[in-house]
Amino acid sequence: MGVPQLLSRRAAARLPASSPPFASVASSHHHLPLTCRFSTDAASHPSSRVQIYTSNSTDPFLNLSVEHHLLRITPPDSTVLTLYVNSPSIIFGRNQNPWLQVNLNRLARIAQQPSGVGWTDSPVQLVRRRSGGGAVFHDGGNVNFSVICPPERFDRDRHAEMVVRALKALGRPNARVNHRHDIVVDAPSGARAASFKVSGSAYKLTRLRALHHGTCLLRSPNLAGIPGLLRSPAQGFLDARGVDSVRSPVSNVDVGNDEFKAAVVGEFESAYGRAHVRSEFDDTALEVDDVRRGYRELQSASWIWGQTPRFTFSTHPTEEDARPRPELPFDLNMRLLAKHGVIEEMSIKRRDGAAVDALDASVFQGASVWAIRDWAEPLARAGLGGSLSKEAGAWLNGVFGTDYTKMR
């Protein structure tokens, strides 16, 4: 099939003239080579029943796109391990609401004034993955693992137990899989929690393939900041369909990234045999059409925000959502209903339920929540008085994190 798609001309030019397009080392037990650069041809070959990939990129959009590409093209009877590390990012589930799960204001402050919030790492990216589950934080101090296998070989604990065996081999005997299929480490007596979560997982099942991916906290320098990133100011006002995140106390396991990768690879090969294909990839993966399309989709506003399930936002208790609300600094009750991040209904009344004179809330219908840069502007267009539109607009800006959404 010629030169595999993932080798760039620039990368090819760096190889010795006598080298084939992909430098390789022969496998002692298989006709295919163990490639040291990613090959779509090798990944999709029917004989490639055991495959291992390691990413040299920390781009979360790229790593998830290559992972999805492998889910689509690898043989139905193959088992595939991928290991990657992402730059600081919040990866939230396919069916989650970013306004509910993430403190977007903090993401904006980290990007604009990191020292002001005590942040010393790079800015935090926001990524909606294709699998279900809850929101997790990634950085250079944790390693992500992904296993793709036939559906009949899948269960939620199988590959979490594989990672636990790797951790035990690295001297962490108190690691185990709990009833939620998370990896935890049991704490010594007197600790603030009986156990600490070190790894969460998510899953995607298709007719022919099953994907289990998770992250393992090893030496994250941002551990103390994770709860603040995943605590949204909209939580008390937003009622959403979809999956909510279950918050747990977390901890590092104090293992190096390379040690962890090697131990996981060892356990994977112990379970499935020596890999027929063992390969690395980097940003040259974007030369593959399928990877590039997936990458662009993950970065698009229509995916990050527009895939949000239906939700209701209300500043006051309603029949559907009777939770008490804090008193607001302005005389308004506001309620909006949105689907895929687009406003379908908007209601604005006085706090006592009286109508606001000459108000036309229909100006909000069809507006994308993520595209509103300053809520004071549509409130003013709806007919709300100057000072009131500014007060309510500033409050809504904070709740919906417009400092972040207008950066994208």
Question: 346-392, pLDDT tens digit by residue?
Answer: 999 999 999 999 999 999 999 999 999 999 999 999 999 889 999 99
- Residue 154: the pLDDT is 92
Distance between CA 69 and CA 80 in Å, rounded?
A: 12
φ/ψ region of 274 (left if φ > 0, alpha if ψ in -120 to 50, else beta) reads beta
Please write the tens of the pLDDT for every residue from 53-81.
Answer: 999 999 999 999 999 999 999 999 999 99
Separation between Cα atoms, residue 44 and residue 277, nearest integer Å = 10
pLDDT score of 13 more than 80? no
pLDDT over 80 at 222, yes or no: yes
Q: What is the rounded CA–CA span in Å between residue 394 and residue 67?
A: 40
Handedness of CA 299, 305, 307, 308 (dihedral sign): positive
Q: How confident is the model at residue 26 (pLDDT cuts 50, 70, 90)?
A: very low
Q: Check whether 119 has a pLDDT greater than 70.
A: yes
- pLDDT recorded at residue 257: 98
Task: Classify residue 220 by burial, with Cβ atoms within 10 Å: 0-12, 13-18, 19+.
Answer: buried
Per-residue pLDDT reduced to its tens digit, 29-38: 444 445 567 8
Number of H helices and number of E strands within the chain?
Answer: 13, 17
Query: How many angstroms separate the Cα of 393 from the Cα of each of 210, 287, 399?
Result: 45, 44, 10
SS3 of 347-374: the string is EEECCCCCECCCCCHHHHCCCEHHHCCC
Inform me whether the pLDDT recorded for 18 exceeds 70.
no
* Burial category of 199 from C-beta neighbours within 10 Å (exposed 0-12, middle 13-18, buried 19 and up): buried
Confidence category of residue 306, pLDDT binned at 50, 70, 90: very high
Ranges of H-type helices in 83-190:
98-101, 104-112, 158-169
The pLDDT of residue 39 is 87
Residues 116-140, mean pLDDT to the nearest whole number: 96
Closest to 88 (Cα-Cα) out of 182, 225, 213: 225
Q: What percent of the chain has pLDDT over 90?
A: 84
Is pTM beyond 0.85 here?
Answer: yes
**Residue 122's closest CA among 71, 42, 176, 60?**
60
Q: What is the pLDDT of residue 36?
A: 60
pLDDT at 34 (0 to 100): 53
Q: What are phi and psi of 44, to 5 degrees?
A: -95, -5
Asked if pLDDT for residue 28 goes beyond 90, the answer is no
Greater confidence (25 vs 402) lies with: 402
